[in-house]
A and B are shown apart, each in its own frame.
Chain A
Amino acid sequence: MKRTLNTRKWVENYGDHLFSLARYKLNDTELAKDLIQDTFLSAIKAVDTFRGDCSEKTWLVRILNNKIIDHYRTGKKEIPMSEYLDNTEKSFSDHYFDFNTPGEYGHHKIAAFPAISNFESDVSINQSELKKVLDGCIGKLPASLSQVFLLKYVSGENADFICKKFNITSSNYWVILHRAKLLLRSCIAKIWSL
């Protein structure tokens, strides 16, 4: 069954929702406006493919999400993710873990794990302050890591989806998230202790 779409009310009905979603995921107001404009225009061209198996809103959100993902992918220089991981594996691991002491392979280097006080549960932390610190730290992550981190934590995509997008194995995926969190931890520890 094919449904007709009433495009006359689109901006009024969905404009704010799509915009705030895009604004949140991209953290860039102008870019968010461009992408929702793109979304509406692509949607009109693709109206014939709307089968009515989901709501108009869901369909538009899906189109917007694809635009956002495309943006993240094309915005960065394209080093294949697995190559990036291989090239940086040793220097990264050596910073946080000790692979030279016999019998203690992989043990943490204590200096790389400074204590962060008040970080045991999120209730005890001032949310908006934490978010500000976090945003700053995410901005400092290497592009390869932050792409994956943002897709998972901001867009809420699942592991399968992300692995397919970047053509990586699931163990690569765990390594990427681990690295991102290690770097965030170091960054937060530095700022939090000031």
Chain B
Amino acid sequence: MKLINFTAFKKILYDCQKAQRLTIKKQESRLTLSEYLQHRIHLHYCDVCRKFQQFSAVINQVFARERKEMQERPTNTLSSEEKIQLQRQVDELTEDLKN
């Protein structure tokens, strides 16, 4: 088995679709060695795909921050009437199930 597929490297120089899919994969998981090298080479030459990579990273950051903020503090609350009503339903069902 060949360790490195040279035809793949020639093709990757132009294949932005593949390079960008690798960007997506790289930002969330791990690339194989061959994928990693293909990705590196392509981005070295391709400005559009570098920009796409930045764009994708910004989106990731925005949502990561949002999720973190959500974990830390509730931003929406129920009114006290809603809470009382909801708790009443909970209590009723609890009683029903006991009997």
Contact = CB atoms under 8 A, between A and B. Distances in A.
Interface of A: 7-8, 10-12, 15-17, 19-21, 23-24, 29, 32-33, 36-37, 40-41, 44-45, 47, 93, 96-97, 103-108, 110, 113, 115-116, 119-122, 125, 127, 130-131, 134, 153-154, 156, 159, 174-175, 177-178, 181-182, 184-185
Contacts of B65: 127
Contact of A7 (B28, B55, B91): B91
B90 interface: yes
A105 B14 contact: yes
Contact of B14 (A103, A156, A175, A178): A103
Given A174-B24, A181-B55, A184-B59, A7 B78 contact: no
A134 B83 CA distance: 32
B32 to A, nearest CB: 13
B83 to A, nearest CB: 5
B54 A37 contact: no
The 4 closest A-B pairs by CB, nearest first: A106-B15, A20-B74, A153-B63, A11-B87
Interface of A is mostly: helix
B71 to A, nearest CB: 9
Interface of B: 11, 14-18, 20-21, 24-25, 28-29, 46, 48-49, 51-52, 54-56, 58-63, 65-67, 70, 74-78, 82-83, 86-87, 89-91, 93-94, 97
9 contacts: A16-B74, A20-B75, A33-B78, A105-B14, A116-B55, A122-B61, A134-B59, A154-B67, A181-B56
A32 B82 CA distance: 13
Contacts, number: 135
Contact of A19 (B52, B77, B87): B77
Contact of A107 (B14, B70, B82): B14
Contacts of A24: 66, 70, 75-76
B51 A15 contact: no
Contacts of A21: 70, 74
A93 B31 CA distance: 22
A122 B56 CA distance: 11
Contacts of B78: 11, 15-16, 19, 33
